[in-house]
Amino acid sequence: KSPFENINYRVKKGDTLVKILKKHQIKNQDIDKAISEFKKHNKSSNIMSGFDIFLTIRNNKSLKENSLESMSIPISKSVTIEIYRDEYKELISEKIITQLFKKIRLVENKIEKSLYASAVESKIEPNIIIEFARIFGFEIDFQRDIRKNDTFQILYEKFYDENDQFIKSGSIIYAFMSVNNREIALYKFGDDKSYDYFDINGKSVVKTLMKTPINGARLSSPFGLRKHPILGYNKMHRGTDFAAPS
């Protein structure tokens, strides 16, 4: 005698979310909220025929209307919108990506102002920049080693949905830096759950001490004349600064 009912509904041609919810006597307040949540992830309220929508509803026979408890709406082969009640009994939503397609992207650039600025200019995602700095942190002192016209390369994963819309970046496969006449190439080895980076001779990049021991920092400050904080006059600044939250 549970008041809850699970429904598997196959979407037919001409169906809309409003139509389906009204068909199952969902109260107007829940319909309005469900449509609002759905449109946060999908501009149109249209749904494709042939897909199965899963609903959980609470029956209220005395009022002849039902409450929507949860709803799973596939909008493509790889994306589903989940609508459900949170701990405060409010309807909220979440976009679930069920299938992603991987592409490999190669980025290379010359450092003009700073490594961070050049990476941003190349439209590299922030998490990839941070990971790149992390794996080179054992090999390079970003405050002293980097010079203008040094170069870098990053080969990394990007994931897209079936509409070729970018969803997230993956891991770095290969990273290279030419720094102060020194060339360093690092390679990913292992699977996605457990991997590390190694040089061309198979030695791990992980050492006892990092040359740049700052986690989550960014590279800032361009080359050029800067006022020396102690000497008090302008002096050529040939390196880059590491900026980090206090």
Q: How confident is the chain (246 residues) per 10-residue block, as mean pLDDT?
A: 89 90 92 92 80 91 84 87 92 88 93 84 89 85 80 94 84 92 91 86 75 53 57 59 54
What pLDDT shows up at residue 220?
A: 53
What pLDDT shows up at residue 233?
A: 63
List the beta strands (DSSP E) in the chain. Answer: 4-10, 52-58, 67-74, 79-85, 91-97, 101-110, 151-160, 166-179, 182-190, 195-198, 218-220, 224-227, 234-237, 241-243
* 182-190 and 151-160 strand pairing: unpaired
What pLDDT shows up at residue 166?
A: 87
Q: What are phi and psi of 96, to 5 degrees?
A: -110, 120
Q: What is the pTM of this model?
A: 0.57
What pLDDT shows up at residue 229?
A: 61
What pLDDT shows up at residue 236?
A: 59
